[in-house]
Amino acid sequence: MEWVEVTAKSLDEASERALSQLGVSEKDAEIQVLEEPKTGMFGRVKGEARVRARVAPAIPRPKRGGGRNGGRNRNRNEGRSESDRGGRGESTPKQGTKKKNDRPAKPKVEDAAPQRRNEKEQDMADGVTLEEQAAVGKEFLEGLVSVMGLDAAVEIRPLEEDLVELAVDGAEGLGVLVGPRGTTLAALQDVTRTVVQGRFPSKTDRILVDVARYRERRVAALGRFTAQIAEEVVASGEAQALEPMSPADRKAVHDAAKDIAGIETRSDGEGPSRHVVIAPSN
Amino acid sequence: MSDYVEGDINTIDNDVVEHDVNDASASMPEEVLTYLARQLASDPDAVAIEAEERGGKVSLKLHVGPDDMGRVIGRRGRTAQAIRTLVGAAGARSGKSTNVDIVDD
């Protein structure tokens, strides 16, 4: 896990700068005070505050380093120029396009997701394919990544029959597009869907955006977490309520729980306090 | 590059500049906002950004064509909020705090 070290006039300022370098919020970071500014007479501050910070290990503490790409965007602001932006475009692997062609444009099987049939019928009526939508989203994300001076490629990954992921991947510094608890990533997905919607006025909830495999790792981590809680629930015979989560996270828990015997899950609570309950099944 | 030199008191108020949308030297949060707005808008040529920067704070005013207001704001301001988050992330990358106003004109 990468540490960033920041010096500033006050501890608050140092922490804030460290966090913005990491692209995460205080909740998701581990901050250590290396040096406190000494307060002189009349509250005048002598010396500087020095802290170091890193992205906190993801909950629920994966045993092996599920290293996020956080805090590595230092020194990457300089050196952007028109020419190296062009060069980056050339070097982008065209995997997405290949994948797309591998996938036959077969008619959609409605039984695959009966709960979404109405939306699907609407999409089919629009005559807009998911492939077309994904291509627009990919292009948008590639442009954004380049404007932000990030070195990343965008790949189209079909996840399910009716679900596609636009995966932004690169060497480092992508934490800025993930943000605290994935909030920047959520914004990125919102805007991507809105852009796609602008070109093709149709449903866009079949498009997911991931950055540096954050979503993927989060789903995996939630799966391990769910398995662990399920074990406890089975052992104790008592239901456990989890902390409130986003709809995407709740879905990951429900999905993971489907494959576990002896428990069942439901969502309780409204709005921001909506959370999953894992209960023993009868 | 902006004329503003961090920590140099003499340049602090020198850099209230209005950038052209196509200005290649625009600061990064502004470039990102321009890109997002042009991508979202049905009329990209009506997109205009006013940028004002002082002391590491970038204040951006976004103008879009009348038909695109709804699109950049979104239902319950959701798109506007997402734009602010992304522009803020771009700003954090270059050590600047940002503020985005969508101007109705």
User: Tokens representing A166?
Assistant: 């636009």
Has residue A111 been placed in a domain?
Answer: no
Q: How many CB pairs under 8 A join A and B?
A: 73
Local structure of A258: helix, strand or coil: helix
What span, in angstroms and rounded, lies between the C-alpha atoms of A75 and A21?
Answer: 10
Has residue A73 been placed in a domain?
Answer: no
pLDDT at B13: 41
Q: What is the DSSP string of A124-187?
A: HHHT--HHHHHHHHHHHHHHHHHHTT--EEEEEEEEETTEEEEEEEESS-GGGGT-GGGHHHHH
Of the spans A30-34, B26-30, B85-89, which averages the highest pLDDT?
B85-89
Last residue of a domain, one of A182, A212, A242: A212
Which has more pLDDT, A213 or A204?
A213
Q: Which fold has domain B28-103?
A: GMP Synthetase; Chain A, domain 3 (3.30.300)
Residues A185 and A223 in one domain: no
Has residue A196 been placed in a domain?
Answer: yes
| Residue boundaries of the structural domains of chain B | 28-103
| Complex confidence, ipTM | 0.75
Instruction: Over range A90-101, report the average pLDDT.
Output: 42
Instruction: Over range A185-208, report the average pLDDT.
Output: 91
For residue A200, the tally of other CB atoms under 10 A from its CB is 16
pLDDT at B71: 93
pLDDT at A219: 92
> What pLDDT band is residue A3 in, cutting at 50, 70 and 90?
low
Has residue A174 been placed in a domain?
Answer: yes
Domain containing residue A237 = 216-280
What span, in angstroms and rounded, lies between the C-alpha atoms of A237 and A279?
Answer: 8
What span, in angstroms and rounded, lies between the C-alpha atoms of B85 and A219?
Answer: 23
Could you tell me which residues come within 8 angstroms of residue A15 by beta carbon, excluding any fewer than 6 positions away? A6, A26, A31, A51, A53
Has residue A228 been placed in a domain?
Answer: yes
pLDDT at A256: 95
* H/E segment holding residue B101: strand B97-103
**Pairing of the two strands A207-211 and A163-170:** parallel
Q: What's chain A's length in residues? A: 282
Last residue of a domain, one of A212, A246, A269: A212
What span, in angstroms and rounded, lies between the C-alpha atoms of B62 and B37?
Answer: 8
What span, in angstroms and rounded, lies between the C-alpha atoms of A89 and A74?
Answer: 22
pLDDT at B31: 94
> Is the Cβ of A81 closer than 8 Å to some Cβ of chain B?
no
Nearest chain A Cα distance for residue B39, angstroms: 6
**Can you name the residues that pair with A55 across neighbouring β-strands?**
A29
Instruction: Over range A207-212, report the average pLDDT.
Output: 95
What span, in angstroms and rounded, lies between the C-alpha atoms of B79 and B102?
Answer: 11
Instruction: Over range A240-248, report the average pLDDT.
Output: 91
At B88, phi and psi to the nearest 5?
Answer: -65, -40
Instruction: Over range A34-40, report the average pLDDT.
Output: 63
Is-contact B49 B33, C-beta < 8 A?
yes
Has residue A78 been placed in a domain?
Answer: no
**Can you name the residues that pair with A275 across neighbouring β-strands?**
A268
> What pLDDT band is residue B95 in, cutting at 50, 70 and 90?
confident
Q: Which of A76, A147, A190 sits opposite B35 (nearest CB)?
A: A147
Inter-chain CB proximity A188 and B82 less than 8 Å: yes
Q: CA A87 from chain center: how many Å?
A: 27
What span, in angstroms and rounded, lies between the C-alpha atoms of B21 and A8?
Answer: 34
Inter-chain CB proximity A194 and B79 less than 8 Å: yes
What share of chain A in percent tops pLDDT 70? 66
Q: Which of B42, B86, B95 sits opposite A191 (nearest CB)?
A: B86
Q: Compute the mean pLDDT over every residue in chain A, rounded to the nearest whole number.
A: 76
pLDDT at residue A135 tops 80: yes
> Is the Cβ of A25 closer than 8 Å to some Cβ of chain B?
no
The CATH number assigned to the domain holding A251 equals 3.30.1370.50
Residues A190 and A149 in one domain: yes
Residues A201 and A244 in one domain: no
Which has more pLDDT, A34 or A46?
A34
Is-contact B61 B80, C-beta < 8 A?
no
Inter-chain CB proximity B39 and A73 less than 8 Å: no
> Is the Cβ of A201 closer than 8 Å to some Cβ of chain B?
no
Instruction: Over range B14-35, report the average pLDDT.
Output: 58
Residue A230: how many CA atoms within 13 Å on its side-chain side? 20
Instruction: Over range A133-139, report the average pLDDT.
Output: 96
pLDDT at residue A63 tops 50: no
Q: pTM value? A: 0.59
Q: Compute the mean pLDDT over every residue in chain B, rounded to the nearest whole number.
A: 80
Residues A201 and A221 in one domain: no
Instruction: Over range B75-96, report the average pLDDT.
Output: 92
Task: Please count the structural domains in chain A.
Answer: 3
The CATH number assigned to the domain holding A162 equals 3.30.300.20
Residues A250 and A268 in one domain: yes
User: Tokens representing A28?
Assistant: 């998701």
Selection from B53, B52, B35 nearest residue B44 by Cα:
B35
Residues A144 and A202 in one domain: yes
Has residue A232 been placed in a domain?
Answer: yes
Residues of A in contact with B78 (CB under 8 A): 190
pLDDT at B93: 82
Residues in B lying within 8 Å of A, measured between beta carbons: 24, 28, 31-32, 35-36, 39-42, 71, 74, 78-79, 81-83, 85-86, 89-90, 92-95
pLDDT at residue A33 tops 90: no
Has residue A152 been placed in a domain?
Answer: yes
